[in-house]
Structure 1
């Protein structure tokens, strides 16, 4: 809980104020039974009406003051807890933004969402309860016991039986509940995952008539969540009735023993009334504690999951003494005997990769599915860290560059086009925020997107739905390319970014990209031979290794792997020697 509790530091003054207000309001409430005893033993027994009015006035004043203090405390508690929750959510988001793709894969996107929303809410709710109830309950418990003993020490012996029994039962219930609350949060993750997959993949699900299967999959996860929730709630349901039983039997014991002591002349009626009120305060304090304990186990599970994220160090970090004087634009990026293993993989994704991409050149990477093409681009951008070898930018190891500076040299277009809700201009300017309208239109023209943008109402101010759902696959790819173009980087990284384009648009786009080579290097991952055949250099990958480097003509002449790729696309058969 250390990391979580550290978020309360900015609210130390508020917490101290809450404790002081709680103490004052509790003392006032504890004082009321004493005044009640005085009214009975002095005012009523002696028939002193003036005394009754005097003490009654004090009781009203104490009650009103206690109400005002409680309202003030509740306001501060809510403000502190909500600020505490806001700070946790912000820190979780900021921390997660620093993670490499490996950390995302380790925990999972759905779990990150649950931890930054549902888990934060659980901790926030229990913080309010701690500030409002758990600060008050111990004071009422201890104060009530002290004042009850001061009224009648013999009668107070009843608490020696009731309190340990009650405390022990609360401990046993909490001990069994904590693991179940942890399971409940994991099953919340599972529900979130299935919901996200079902909504984002609704077209595929309907196309393959798997709606009923998805309903069944969700039902299984939902039922599992329900069953665990029922187990927890059944367990917690025993707590309140058990406390009421203890509370009522304690009252019976107090009245029975108190009546005997009054009959024996060892106790006054007012003292018994005050003692009963103190007993109720003590037992109500225990009920408040038990209600808190109902929420604390779940908040503990949530806090543990949040700490797991906050204590997770990003695998890829800027090194101390990073190089900051790299020239811009950079002129070349070079792989030197680079190998990379994904986490827990037995086989390397790429192995012994050596090549160089320079400004003014188009470097294409081609190979079968799973040969490591996308991995090379992700290593260039340091989404992953090379396991062996090194990658240099103008001779400087990219691990010695700040990540921000490295990626400012890159214009990356991912394999899956990713767009954000907002306007077309907003999405293109995601590459460069200070881009003018003319810069945006120029990027759209180069990306062959100008025509369909002009057809939309509002042009570049036309709205894009979440994920670009109101655009075709080719339109989304072209906007993603325009986003990279407006950045004017040193290296354009196209990760199979032309796959949704028809051959005519593909050819026009490649022709328009030739002008970008004057100040940048083009690195293209593609499946189509037509996309890469005019490249200055083609790198052929086979099972994570370089099977050949050369121009289209050179590889077609003497590289068997490339010949097979060409044959598979052109319908020719390659003779095997």
Structure 2
């Protein structure tokens, strides 16, 4: 239902992501919304980590029991069994907690996805049409689907591991200190090297993930465009060009994804190298302490296990680092959508100023432009009296469709005002005002549902008899009844079983049903054949009775009976009057009329001349 402004239609340039911390904080804030589940994960996670931290010490004690028993001539198998039984019990408890936390985090992630999709849906409903004019639909769709899915799935995959990893990183050094402060210092000294590697690699991988998801959006936009316009692409033989564009986007996505994954993947090997280096230092130093009698075999065994517990979370976080970078890149794109400037808010309605609309419409010194440096409509004055039919004609780009978009408040004015019955439409809630206006566009739109549901889209409470009456008025009842399921035939946005004319008749019936006070017809009969056009014109005459109507037309034969014909050029009204007056004046309308209906000036020469 939009008209693209001059220069519109291409996707905006994606800005470089430079707020990793800010986006990460917002993602954490999203997780914190589900406080109950988060508290459950943290509480049980802490209990699980405590149990896992106790197991190496218990197993170390079991080792010392065996060594001391062997040296004393007999192992106390009862004590050994009790010790190992405690370790097994703790292991079973940690397993149950792990399963519980996994299920809880999955619910958290899906709840986040649910809320983000709802927020995105509400946001899209409140965005001005200029936002969609500047972006391909596939790009916006990619943010609402792919990016939200990537963000929430990653949250579900890494939250439990991050919680567990952080608790280990905090708890393991404490257990290490109880065994050997010297060995603990050796392990902790390697931590700055780990942080440095993470920082260096992260700086280089994050921009690549941003490019990856930006390219994904461009690819989706192109695919959506090619599928929607498949017939047109085939008709004009542009399949090869479309395939070339797809190949270019696909190759760009491939290259960006490989680069992002390769750079982020360097962190894993780096962490593994640091981990083995730490093991070697601990083994050498620990062996010397055991030889000196400062530590027992069981203690050094426990310490080596703690070293693994300390290194494993770091390695695990490193392995997840690429996913986190990708999720943050997606999160930034989602937040850019959620943070986009909304349309100006509706005024607080005290009463319904347009409860009863007579239909007097006036454009008073109206100025509007899509782009700041490209004027379109400047200082326009135009009025329509109740019940009048005002036809708007002019060359392409003159601003005809823009006029009705401004009346519908799809865009806000730069200057001037538009009034209905003397009431400035900017002081009325958009929804209340639009309820009084019926609109039929050149581009038909049907949603997935039955024909009856499509006709009743503006009045869902309408009865079947009212739907049939509206279809009859639009001369659509006959062809609807010839369909296998009649009014219950399922159609959709891409439904191919209906012709363009039949789809247009359904949208016209939709306008009949809402019984509007003001009617807007934007090339409403352009998709119907000549015979059907005559029938529709008869219905339109009946529909326009007692209503103010604005008819945008290129075919001048359809607006001869209009009360006022307004001729626009370059955003200005250059002429207005009825058909006979404008023809007699010999101005812009007469030139348009002659150009459309003049006979060829050169007769075809006889064969053989």
**Shared fold (TM-score, shorter chain, > 0.5):** yes
Structure 1 residues 44-443: aligned runs within 5 Å: 44-46=67-69, 47-321=75-349, 324-344=352-372, 346-443=373-470
TM-score by length of 1: 0.96
Contact 1:322/1:402 (CA < 8 Å) preserved in 2? no
RMSD of Structure 2 on Structure 1 (CA): 1.8
Q: Secondary structure at the match of 2:561?
A: coil
**Cα deviations by residue, 1:124-168 (Å, 9 ceiling, x for unpaired):** 123224431111111111211121122111122321442222221
**Cα deviations by residue, 1:340-391 (Å, 9 ceiling, x for unpaired):** 11034x3322222222223322111111111111001100111111111100
Provide the residue aligned with 1:526 in structure 2.
Answer: 553
Displacement after TM superposition at 1:320 (Å): 3.8
The alpha-carbon distance between structure 1 residues 210 and 108, as it changes in their structure 2 partners (threshold 3 A), is closer
Provide the residue aligned with 2:497 in structure 1.
Answer: 470
User: Is the deviation greater in 491-500 or in 121-130?
Assistant: 121-130
Distance in structure 1 (CA, Å) of the matches to 2:29 and 2:271: 34
Displacement after TM superposition at 1:9 (Å): 5.0
Displacement after TM superposition at 1:6 (Å): 4.6
1:27 aligns with 2:50: yes
Residue-pair matches, total:
573
Provide the residue aligned with 2:40 in structure 1.
Answer: 17
Distance in structure 2 (CA, Å) of the matches to 1:446 and 1:389: 38
The alpha-carbon distance between structure 1 residues 214 and 107, as it changes in their structure 2 partners (threshold 3 A), is closer
The alpha-carbon distance between structure 1 residues 318 and 361, as it changes in their structure 2 partners (threshold 3 A), is same
Displacement after TM superposition at 1:122 (Å): 2.1
Displacement after TM superposition at 1:43 (Å): 4.7
Contact 2:353/2:423 (CA < 8 Å) preserved in 1? no
User: Is the deviation greater in 315-324 or in 326-335?
Assistant: 315-324
Distance in structure 2 (CA, Å) of the matches to 1:147 and 1:5: 29
Distance in structure 2 (CA, Å) of the matches to 1:3 and 1:52: 50
Q: Which runs of 5+ in 2 are unaligned?
A: 1-22, 70-74, 602-609
Q: Secondary structure at the match of 2:328?
A: helix
The alpha-carbon distance between structure 1 residues 206 and 570, as it changes in their structure 2 partners (threshold 3 A), is same
Provide the residue aligned with 1:569 in structure 2.
Answer: 596
Displacement after TM superposition at 1:62 (Å): 0.7
Q: Secondary structure at the match of 1:15?
A: helix
Displacement after TM superposition at 1:90 (Å): 1.0
Provide the residue aligned with 1:543 in structure 2.
Answer: 570
Displacement after TM superposition at 1:92 (Å): 0.5
**Cα deviations by residue, 1:489-510 (Å, 9 ceiling, x for unpaired):** 1111111111122233222222
Provide the residue aligned with 2:72 in structure 1.
Answer: none
Provide the residue aligned with 2:524 in structure 1.
Answer: 497
**Cα deviations by residue, 1:457-479 (Å, 9 ceiling, x for unpaired):** 11111121433332212112111
1:41 aligns with 2:64: yes
Distance in structure 2 (CA, Å) of the matches to 1:530 and 1:71: 73
Q: Secondary structure at the match of 2:381?
A: strand
Q: Secondary structure at the match of 2:181?
A: coil
The alpha-carbon distance between structure 1 residues 268 and 291, as it changes in their structure 2 partners (threshold 3 A), is same
Displacement after TM superposition at 1:249 (Å): 2.5
Q: Which runs of 5+ in 1 are unaligned?
A: none
The alpha-carbon distance between structure 1 residues 18 and 525, as it changes in their structure 2 partners (threshold 3 A), is same
Contact 1:36/1:270 (CA < 8 Å) preserved in 2? yes
Distance in structure 1 (CA, Å) of the matches to 2:30 and 2:269: 36
Distance in structure 2 (CA, Å) of the matches to 1:323 and 1:393: 16
Displacement after TM superposition at 1:36 (Å): 0.9
User: Is the deviation greater in 157-166 or in 524-533?
Assistant: 157-166
The alpha-carbon distance between structure 1 residues 496 and 316, as it changes in their structure 2 partners (threshold 3 A), is farther
Contact 1:468/1:476 (CA < 8 Å) preserved in 2? no
**Cα deviations by residue, 1:170-222 (Å, 9 ceiling, x for unpaired):** 11111111111111111011101110111111112111222122111100100
Q: Secondary structure at the match of 1:338?
A: strand
Contact 2:449/2:490 (CA < 8 Å) preserved in 1? yes
Q: Secondary structure at the match of 1:313?
A: coil
The alpha-carbon distance between structure 1 residues 279 and 330, as it changes in their structure 2 partners (threshold 3 A), is farther
Contact 1:363/1:538 (CA < 8 Å) preserved in 2? yes
Q: Secondary structure at the match of 1:154?
A: helix
Displacement after TM superposition at 1:114 (Å): 0.9
Distance in structure 2 (CA, Å) of the matches to 1:297 and 1:34: 36
